[in-house]
Amino acid sequence: MKVNLRDLTPEELEHFMTDRGEPAYRGRQIFRWLARPEVEDFSQMTDLPRDLRERLSREASLELPETVERKLSTDGTVKLALRLRDGEVIECVLIPERDHYTLCVSTQVGCAMGCRFCLTGRMGFRRNLSPGEIVSQVILARRFMAEAGLEDRPLRNLVFMGMGEPLANYRHLVKALKILTHPKGFHFARKRTTVSTVGLVPQIRALAEEFPVALAISLHAPDNSLREKLIPATRRYPLEEILAACRDYPLRRGARITVEYVLLAGVNDHPWQARRLVEILRGIPSKVNLIPFNPHPELPFRRPSEERIRRFQEIILSEGLVATVRKSKGLDIGAACGQLRSELSLS
């Protein structure tokens, strides 16, 4: 098979070219072209010699997934279903904010974490995405924005909160992060690039050492007993170890770790659980993002009442922590938190 150059970091592209007797700067030229969403073919890389473009077309590819479905929500959220080379389908979500867009990016086909409140978890794990398949979601989202006339607001934020557990695909995730944040390419700011994890402690510590970006922890319970029931795969990593890794995680000045907490009626929304959550987060620069459960017929949970949600938030705020309630965007198209599972992947 041809090498897909979208899988390569700038340094790897330089090696790719020098291995073929070309100067390293040709790799840097190609890298700049790869960040442009309209580029589909080597013939468009007009600062490369024609004979090199022809050679590259024989030896390498710029393959992208196929956009097979676009769904537009009444609130402006867009869900894209992308078919991969092997026929698997993933989803990414373009979310409108006040002055920019955020893209929710997938890192795996399916997920092995088995969260009881998540449709993706019910798919089971299919496979990891390659770096290029991760990066391609950004390219195709930008291409859609250009075609739909949505360029009045930039795509500024990336959140790795789509299908899959990002840190379970650690090596390919980090390569994708290096590609997407490189100043000579996509140039996304690290502070606006967030990786969400259920708490894979060794990988949290590895990310802290190798390539720290903004971090979000999917906590969802203030004690180990309940958390193991809601997220079975986290039994290996008790809350004490996860929170210790959070305390050690390097943060830029003024930054906080986001603590994601899906509120499930009668399960984890009691006032005593809010107080317990405050206790375990002491000493960690954090902000709590409360996510009222998005119901689905296949999932055995209910959304708490608005009063219950408000009371939980008030308890956290009264203790001096930041606590926000996430507005569910894209609910009508199955694009809200915990809903990513393309029906095309089930056919």
CATH code of 198's domain: 3.20.20.70
Asked if residue 156 and residue 20 are part of one domain, the reply reads: no
Four-residue CA torsion sign, 163, 165, 171, 176 = positive
**Which three-class secondary structure state does DSSP give residue 42?**
helix
Buried b (16+ CB within 10 A) or exposed e, 203-227: bbeebbeebbbbbbbbbbbbeeeeb
- Quote the number of domains for the chain: 2
Angle at 172 between CA 116 and CA 54, to 5 degrees: 135
What is residue 297's predicted lDDT score, i.e. its pLDDT?
83
What is residue 346's predicted lDDT score, i.e. its pLDDT?
46
What is residue 22's predicted lDDT score, i.e. its pLDDT?
97
Given 104, 111, 118, 337, which residue is catalytic?
A: 337
Radius of gyration for the alpha carbons in the chain, expressed in angstroms and rounded: 21
Asked if residue 154 and residue 17 are part of one domain, the reply reads: no
What is residue 152's predicted lDDT score, i.e. its pLDDT?
86
What is residue 34's predicted lDDT score, i.e. its pLDDT?
97
How many residues in total does the chain contain? 347
For residues 153 and 141, the answer to whether their CB atoms sit within 8 Å is: no
Map tokens 């944040």 to a residue: 181
Asked if residue 194 and residue 176 are part of one domain, the reply reads: yes
- CATH code, 31: 1.10.150.530
Neighbours of 83 (CB within 10 A): 17
Question: The tokens of 233 are what?
Answer: 């795969």
What is residue 347's predicted lDDT score, i.e. its pLDDT?
46
Given 91, 133, 165, 260, which residue is catalytic?
A: 91
Asked if residue 218 and residue 129 are part of one domain, the reply reads: yes
Q: Any catalytic annotation for residue 91?
A: yes
**What residue ranges of the chain have pLDDT lower than 70?**
329-347
For residues 40 and 64, the answer to whether their CB atoms sit within 8 Å is: yes
* pTM of structure: 0.94
